[in-house]
Structure 1
C-alpha cells in the first residue's frame, strides 16, 4: 500500500513504524537547504508524496508497489511516489544496481498495456521512454551504496523515486536555467562531479536508461540493464 507521510505518522503498525523512519530520513535529506534538486522540497512540504515499503525486500513486492504507483499517477499525472526496500547486504552498490535492474525486468513482464507505437525500441534512442501500465515512467534509484554521489543516497534503504516523464518536464525539466542551477548545486553537494549521463530528454546525446542508476564515480553512463531487457516483446522483428 501507498501512504502520504501524514498517514504513516498516524499509524502504529510495525510496518508503518519502519516506513515512518525511512520517510523521516528521506524528508530530512530532501529538506536540507544544500540538497541539489530545487523542486524536491515542495511536494514534501505539501504532503503530496506517496510512500511505500517493500517489507520482504523482494523485486516482486517492489514491482507490485510500482504498479500501484502507476494507478496513482494515471489519476494524478504530477504524482510522485517513493518506494523503499531494506535489501540484504545494504551498501553494496553492485547488489543495489542489480536489484534495480531486476525490478525493471519484472515490470516489463508484468505490463498489461501496449507501449505507444511511436516509442523507439532501442533505449539508446534519445526519444526512448520506459512505459509501464500506460504511464511514461522516469526512475531515480538512490541507495545507501552511493557514498560520494550523496544526491543519490536518500537514506538507509534502497529508494526508487518515480513519476511521469511528461510531468517531470512540466515541473522544470525543460527549464535550461533550472537545470544549470541544479548541476551547479550537484557539484557542491556531491564529492564527485555531476555524472556524464545526465542530460535533457530528446537531446541527441541523452539516454534515459543511463540516468536511472548513476554510478558513484565519474565513469561514463551505462544502461542500467541490457538493451534486450528493455525492448518491447512482439515489436522487435
Structure 2
C-alpha cells in the first residue's frame, strides 16, 4: 500500500476521488473560522505528522486487507514520524454507499472492517491489554501496537466533528496520547478547550461516551464510533476479535 504525507499529496496528487478526499480533509483541518475541535489533530496536520492511505470500498474484502497492510507498515515507522502522528485511512465511498447508508449502517461497517482487519494480524494480542472490550483499559491493537480509533462518515450531520464526505478512520497510536498526557496541566487545559470547541462545532452536545483512557467507567470502544445525537452506546461491543486463541 502506498502511504503519503502532506507534501506528497500537495505536490504529486494521486488524482480522482483520492485528490478530492484529501482536499476535503485539508479544508477541515485548516479551517480557521470553523475550527475542528481536536486541537492535537490540527497540530498533527500542520506539522505533517499524519500519514495517509487510500483504501477500497469498505464493503469489499480488499479494504480490510489494505488496512491490515497499512497498519503493519505504519506501526513500523510511527515513532520516527513525530509526536502528533496519526494514520488517516480514507475509503473509496461510492454514491450508492452515501445514498443508502445511515449512521447505524456505517457503524456496523466500521466494526466489520476492524474485525476483518484484526483477523489478518500476525502478532498475538498484547498480553497487558485485556481481550474484553468492556474492560476499562481495552483498546484496539494491531501488530503489537495499541491504537485509538476515530471514525467519521457522510451520514453524520448534527455531529459535524464526525462528519466527512468519505468513510474515514483516524488511527492514533497509544504512545502519542501517553506523550500528550505527560504534562497533565497542559493536557487538561487542551481537553477543556476541545470540549468547548465541540459545543461550537456540532449541532448537538458533547457525547456522553467521551471519557478518559483508564478511568474506571471508561469504554474505549464506545468512543470510536459516536452516534449523531447524545444517546450513549448500548449493549455489548460489536467487535469480534478473531485472534483470541493467540497468546
After TM superposition, is the score higher than 0.5?
yes
1:19 equivalent in alignment to 2:14: no
Relative to 1, partners in 2 of residues 1:24 and 1:184: Cα closer, same or farther, differing over 3 Å?
A: same
Deviations 1:109-162 (A, max 9, x none): 111111222211211111112111121111100111110000011x31001011
Question: How far apart, CA to CA, are the structure 1 residues paired with 2:30 and 2:11?
Answer: 21
Q: Given the superposition, is the C-alpha separation of residues 25 and 107 from structure 1 closer, same or farther in structure 2, using an over 3 Å criterion?
A: same
| Stretch moving more, 68-77 or 180-189 | 68-77
How big is each residue's C-alpha offset from its partner over 1:19-58, in whole Å with a ceiling of 9 and x where there is no partner?
1211111111122232111112222222232112223444
In structure 2, list runs of 5 or more residues that go unmatched: none
- Give the C-alpha shift of residue 92 in structure 1: 2.0
Q: 1:183 to 1:59 in 2, by over 3 A?
A: farther
1:62 equivalenced with 2:63 (yes/no): yes
Q: Alpha carbons of 1:101 and 1:142: their partners in 2 closer, same or farther (altered >3 Å)?
A: same
2:87 pairs with 70, 77, 81, which one? 81
1:223/1:162 Cα in 2 relative to 1: closer, same or farther (>3 Å)?
Answer: farther
User: Matched residues in 2 for 1:12 and 1:38: separation?
Assistant: 26
Q: Does 1:200 align with 2:202?
A: no
Contact 2:53 2:70 in 1 (8 A): no
- Aligned runs of 1:121-200 on 2, under 5 Å? 121-153=131-163, 155-172=164-181, 175-200=187-212
Cα distance in 1 for partners of 2:103, 2:236 equals 12
After superposition, the CA RMSD in angstroms is 2.4
Tell me the secondary structure at the aligned position of residue 71 of structure 1: helix
Check the 8 A contact 1:195/1:221 in 2, yes or no. Answer: no
Deviation string 1:67-89 (CA, Å, 9 cap, x unpaired) is 32332233223431111121532
Task: Output the TM-score relative to the length of structure 1.
Answer: 0.87
Q: Structure 1: which 5+ residue stretches go unaligned? A: none
| Residues 86 and 170 in structure 2, CA contact (< 8 A), matched pair in contact too | yes
**1:169-193 deviations in Å (ceiling 9; x for gaps):** 3235962222121111111111111
State the partner residue of 1:114: 124
**Distance (whole Å) between structure 1 residues aligned to residue 70 and residue 122 of structure 2:** 13
